[in-house]
Amino acid sequence: MNLDSPLTSIKGVGTELAAKYKTLGLETVADLINHLPSRYEDYSNVLEIKNIKPGSVTIKAVIKQVSGRYVRRGLHITEAVASDDSSSVKLVWFNQPYRAGSFKAQTEYFISGQFELGNRSFSIMNPSMELVSDFPINTARIVPIYRLTKGLTSFQIRKSLREVLPVIRQVPETLPQWLLSEEGLSPRSEALESIHFPLNQEDLDKAKQRLGFEEVFSLSLASLLNKYENDSESTITIPFNEEAAKKFVGELPFKLTDAQRKVIWKICLDLARGIPMNRIVEGDVGSGKTVVATMAALMVVVAGYQVAIMAPTELLARQHYETLQSLLKPLGLDKGVGLLVGGQKTLARSQILESIASGDTKFIIGTHALIQEKVDMKNLALVIIDEQHRFGVEQRKTLMAKAGHMPHVLSLTATPIPRSLALTLYGELDLSLLDTKPEGRKPIITKIVSPNSIAQTYEEVKKQLDMGKQMFVVCPVINESTRSAKSVNQVYDELRQKYFKEYRVGLLHGKMPGAEKNDIMKKFVDHEIDILVSTTVVEVGVDVPNATVMLIESADNYGLAQIHQLRGRVGRDGSQGYCYLVLSSSAAPTKRLRALESNDDGFKLAEIDLALRGPGAIYGAVQHGSLDLRIAQLSDLGLINSARKAAEQFIYNKESLLKYTELAKTVNVLRSITNLN
Ligand code: ADP
Ligand code: MG
């Protein structure tokens, strides 16, 4: 048996079990070894029965008085008494009738499970047990819990892994030796053994450290290699056009912030280098990313080329279309702005397609339609991607192939990530932060509301509506409400039929046909609707300046960044905005939600989320392609930073990947995932 052997070569794995493994994507011994635990239960502390307390416990005892019975149809209970020299305790299993016949008398077992109040008395519920040995698998150690599929148990996985232990010990090394000694990391084989069979907590932490390091190191290396490749390409040079820039800035209805000026200047330098720009601008909601993007687009168009601007939703694309037209009107360039989205009529569509192909349309604004269909562009030089994390990598690649050469790429994102993390996640992109907001913005007044006092909140809100303002109500799910999440349909009915009878209430969710969505949104923008009840389709970018209230139902279902983006939708005309976070139960609000009440800065909130939930929370928010940083999620920022630096060192040392076969395999896969070209 070796790493490439099929799983059926493992003792105890027949075709039936192998089929179950296959549904988890596991086919070879190597796959099984790389199927890492999703969590652990610490059953390592073997106690005398007289000393056990409620919670996870392990005892070493003999079994007596076993009995099994059906309490009612479909519910079988097995009970037994376990005794050691100190005392006795009851064991209870549900629906495991085979248990009763499986005990040897007068024999010591390790028994691990939850000691808790069960059927009227304290018992160890559904315990695992096995004969006392030096190498227990399911008890008396830190027990790994694996991701499962129907009919497969963690027991079976642990047993299979026990059989392949000799192979785990031969897993080849992936990282360079100098790196292992420099960073004090254990060899890969040792780390894998400890991940599946941890000796103690320290041993487990060390293994996670090692595997997490490798994950971030490989990712950083992949990004850096992509970046170097990108920098060796040449592309169209877009010179800085001072006259157009001055005219554009002069016609703006406001003064650019220093942050906007700096970022615009960086972009102009990038465009003029003759090397494809690959920059991401990270700026909180309302930081003014659209003007920055428009300036970049302007430089490209006055140089005689086209620019494609992609938005995540049709609503947003339409809004950008209008914004760009009005920003470019004073320069007489608004006629060159075109919109291509799914919901257009056939005639309008063919006209716009023709105008894109002829080059008359210079600013091409659209959604996925821009890449999913055959769109001929005359001379595309710049691609702007708004909210880049909402686009799949494959989609980006397709768009870039359309240009026939590598276009400049500018990504905009409102998901604020601390710089150190952004450098890892967006390693191959140059990063610019729009870290100051335009002056005079009032922070949104944010209040946490218990469901008991919702009626009172509605009364408060009516004051805004009666002043002619509008309100968003956002719900987490479309159809069925659950205990912790109200559905958009339920809330819509409640508001319309009970609390807000005398107001115009509209409904919007992602499953509605596109035309209907646009229609409702247009009605809201035109103030033919006072209250828009919706799912998070409004999350990114939609601009309804007259809306001053954002009410979020079951707010505990959302991440900080998401709520922060949502509330950025209101108070955009300079009026005071309000955000109500309605809890799903009357339990006390979490620290995280409370942070939103006192904080209005997206970057600051990201740091708080990072401190409270760890980097995993942020990785979740950016959904970096199909990457799955399972171990690094559990690790700390320090590790992420040192792994990234090590990757820089690797390149600086001019190390060749060819020397490291295993590493090269991973890095090449990652390069294609993270590759934006
Ligand atoms: P986002 O970064 O969320 O995309 P937008 O580009 O939509 O933000 O800008 C939000 C609002 O701020 C818009 O109405 C825009 O016109 C306005 N704005 C942008 N820059 C400035 C500025 N320097 N001063 C005042 N208002 C600005
Ligand atoms: Mg925007």
Task: Provide the CATH number for the domain around residue 51.
Answer: 2.40.50.140
Name the DSSP class of 653.
T
Give dist(CA 331, CA 340) in Å, integer.
Answer: 23
| Ligand 1 lined by 287 (C-beta under 6 Å) | yes
Ligand 1 centre distance from Cα of residue 537 (Å): 21
CATH of the domain at 149: 1.10.150
Do the domain assignments include residue 421? Answer: no
- Whether residues 587 and 503 share a domain: the answer is yes
| Ligand 1 lined by 393 (C-beta under 6 Å) | no
Give dist(CA 72, CA 54) in Å, integer.
Answer: 28
- Whether residues 11 and 68 share a domain: the answer is no
Total of domains in the chain: 5
CATH of the domain at 476: 3.40.50.300
> Coil, strand or helix: which one is 329?
helix
**Protein residue whose Cα sits closest to atom 10 of ligand 1:** 286
Chain segment 57-74, per-residue pLDDT in tens: 999 999 988 999 998 888
What pLDDT, on a 0 to 100 scale, did the predictor assign at position 472? 95
Of 203-207, 263-267, 368-372, 642-646, which one has max mean pLDDT? 263-267
- CB of 41 within 8 A of CB of 145? yes
Chain segment 96-140, per-residue pLDDT in tens: 888 888 888 899 999 999 999 876 789 999 999 999 999 999 999
How does 252-267 read in b/e, with b if 16+ C-beta sit within 10 Å? eeeebbebbebbbebb
Give dist(CA 217, CA 175) in Å, integer.
Answer: 9
What pLDDT, on a 0 to 100 scale, did the predictor assign at position 343? 74
Ligand 2 centre distance from Cα of residue 525 (Å): 17
| Ligand 1 lined by 451 (C-beta under 6 Å) | no
Ligand 1 centre distance from Cα of residue 438 (Å): 7
Give dist(CA 168, CA 191) in Å, integer.
Answer: 10
| Ligand 1 lined by 602 (C-beta under 6 Å) | no
Ligand 2 centre distance from Cα of residue 257 (Å): 16
- Whether residues 559 and 481 share a domain: the answer is yes
**Protein residue whose Cα sits closest to atom 18 of ligand 1:** 288
What pLDDT, on a 0 to 100 scale, did the predictor assign at position 234? 84
| Ligand 1 lined by 565 (C-beta under 6 Å) | no
Chain segment 396-450, per-residue pLDDT in tens: 566 667 777 788 989 998 877 777 677 777 778 899 999 888 887 788 999 999 9
- Whether residues 119 and 148 share a domain: the answer is no
Give dist(CA 321, CA 351) in Å, integer.
Answer: 16
Q: Which of 291, 412, 442, 538 to mutate to test the pocket of ligand 1 (most atoms within 8 A of CB)?
A: 291
| Ligand 1 lined by 283 (C-beta under 6 Å) | yes
Do the domain assignments include residue 126? Answer: yes
- CB of 555 within 8 A of CB of 581? yes
- Whether residues 621 and 492 share a domain: the answer is no
Q: What is the mean pLDDT of the chain?
A: 88
| Ligand 1 lined by 68 (C-beta under 6 Å) | no
Ligand 1, closest atom to CA 283?
A: 2
Of 225-239, 498-512, 590-604, which one has max mean pLDDT? 498-512
- Whether residues 28 and 64 share a domain: the answer is no
Tell me which of 169, 185, 217 is where a domain ends: 169
| Ligand 1 lined by 288 (C-beta under 6 Å) | yes
Assign residue 184 a region (left: φ > 0; alpha: ψ between -120 and 50; beta: otherwise). Answer: left
Ligand 2 centre distance from Cα of residue 386 (Å): 7
Band (pLDDT 50/70/90 cuts) for residue 538 is low
| Ligand 1 lined by 289 (C-beta under 6 Å) | yes
**First CA to last CA across the chain, in angstroms?**
41
Ligand 1 centre distance from Cα of residue 444 (Å): 16
190 forms beta bridges with: none
- One-letter amino acid at 318 equals R
* Residue spans of alpha helices (H) in 256-376: 258-271, 289-302, 314-328, 346-358, 369-372
Q: Which of 248, 249, 251, 254 to mutate to test the pocket of ligand 1 (most atoms within 8 A of CB)?
A: 254
* Residue whose token pair is 């890892």: 424
- CB of 259 within 8 A of CB of 342? no
Name the DSSP class of 101.
G
| Ligand 1 lined by 254 (C-beta under 6 Å) | yes
What would the two tokens of residue 542 be?
A: 């939609």
Do the domain assignments include residue 420? Answer: no
Residues in CB range of 307: below 8 A, 6 or more apart: 296, 297, 300, 301, 362, 363, 364, 380, 381, 382, 383, 384
Ligand 1, closest atom to CA 434?
A: 2
Residues in CB range of 259: below 8 A, 6 or more apart: 283, 287, 433, 434, 435, 436
Ligand 1 centre distance from Cα of residue 304 (Å): 27
| Angle of CA points 621, 541, 615, to nearest 5° | 15
- Whether residues 261 and 370 share a domain: the answer is yes
Chain segment 227-246, per-residue pLDDT in tens: 888 888 888 999 999 999 99
- Region 551-567: what's the mean pLDDT? 86
List the one residue out of 579, 569, 552 whose CA is nearest residue 286. Answer: 569
- For 575, phi then psi, to 5°, come to -75, 160
| Ligand 1 lined by 438 (C-beta under 6 Å) | yes
Do the domain assignments include residue 419? Answer: no
Band (pLDDT 50/70/90 cuts) for residue 675 is very low
| Ligand 1 lined by 540 (C-beta under 6 Å) | no
Whose atoms come closest to the Cα of 568: which ligand? 1
Chain segment 307-327, per-residue pLDDT in tens: 999 988 787 898 899 999 999
| Ligand 1 lined by 424 (C-beta under 6 Å) | no
Chain segment 277-307, per-residue pLDDT in tens: 989 999 888 889 999 999 999 999 999 999 9
What pLDDT, on a 0 to 100 scale, did the predictor assign at position 625? 43
- Whether residues 541 and 645 share a domain: the answer is no
What pLDDT, on a 0 to 100 scale, did the predictor assign at position 676? 42
pLDDT > 80? residue 143: yes
What pLDDT, on a 0 to 100 scale, did the predictor assign at position 53? 95
pLDDT > 80? residue 174: yes
Give dist(CA 123, CA 78) in Å, integer.
Answer: 12
Give dist(CA 132, CA 639) in Å, integer.
Answer: 38
pLDDT > 90? residue 226: no
H/E run at residue 451: none
| Ligand 1 lined by 413 (C-beta under 6 Å) | no
> Coil, strand or helix: which one is 669?
helix
- Region 181-206: what's the mean pLDDT? 95
Give dist(CA 73, CA 589) in Å, integer.
Answer: 41
Do the domain assignments include residue 281? Answer: no
Ligand 2 centre distance from Cα of residue 42 (Å): 47
- Whether residues 382 and 451 share a domain: the answer is no
Ligand 2 centre distance from Cα of residue 278 (Å): 19
Within 13 A of 514's CA, how many CA atoms are on the CB side?
13
- Whether residues 338 and 395 share a domain: the answer is yes
Do the domain assignments include residue 618? Answer: yes
pLDDT > 70? residue 529: yes
Do the domain assignments include residue 652? Answer: yes
Tell me which of 599, 628, 661 is where a domain ends: 599
Band (pLDDT 50/70/90 cuts) for residue 623 is very low
Residues in CB range of 498: below 8 A, 6 or more apart: none
List the one residue out of 259, 353, 245 whose CA is nearest residue 297. Answer: 245
Give dist(CA 301, CA 202) in Å, integer.
Answer: 59
- Whether residues 639 and 615 share a domain: the answer is yes
Band (pLDDT 50/70/90 cuts) for residue 626 is very low
What range defines the domain where residue 398 resides? 242-273+288-413
Ligand 2 centre distance from Cα of residue 342 (Å): 20
Ligand 1 centre distance from Cα of residue 550 (Å): 19
User: Please, which residues have CB less than 5 A from ligand 2, an ion?
Assistant: 541
Ligand 2 centre distance from Cα of residue 540 (Å): 7
Give dist(CA 577, CA 330) in Å, integer.
Answer: 31
Ligand 1, closest atom to CA 543?
A: 7
Do the domain assignments include residue 282? Answer: no
Which of 32-41, 89-98, 512-521 is the least confident region? 512-521
| Ligand 1 lined by 118 (C-beta under 6 Å) | no
Give dist(CA 386, CA 296) in Å, integer.
Answer: 13
| Ligand 1 lined by 196 (C-beta under 6 Å) | no
Assign residue 431 a region (left: φ > 0; alpha: ψ between -120 and 50; beta: otherwise). Answer: beta
Give dist(CA 294, CA 618) in Å, integer.
Answer: 28
- Whether residues 202 and 132 share a domain: the answer is no
| Ligand 1 lined by 256 (C-beta under 6 Å) | yes
| Ligand 1 lined by 285 (C-beta under 6 Å) | yes
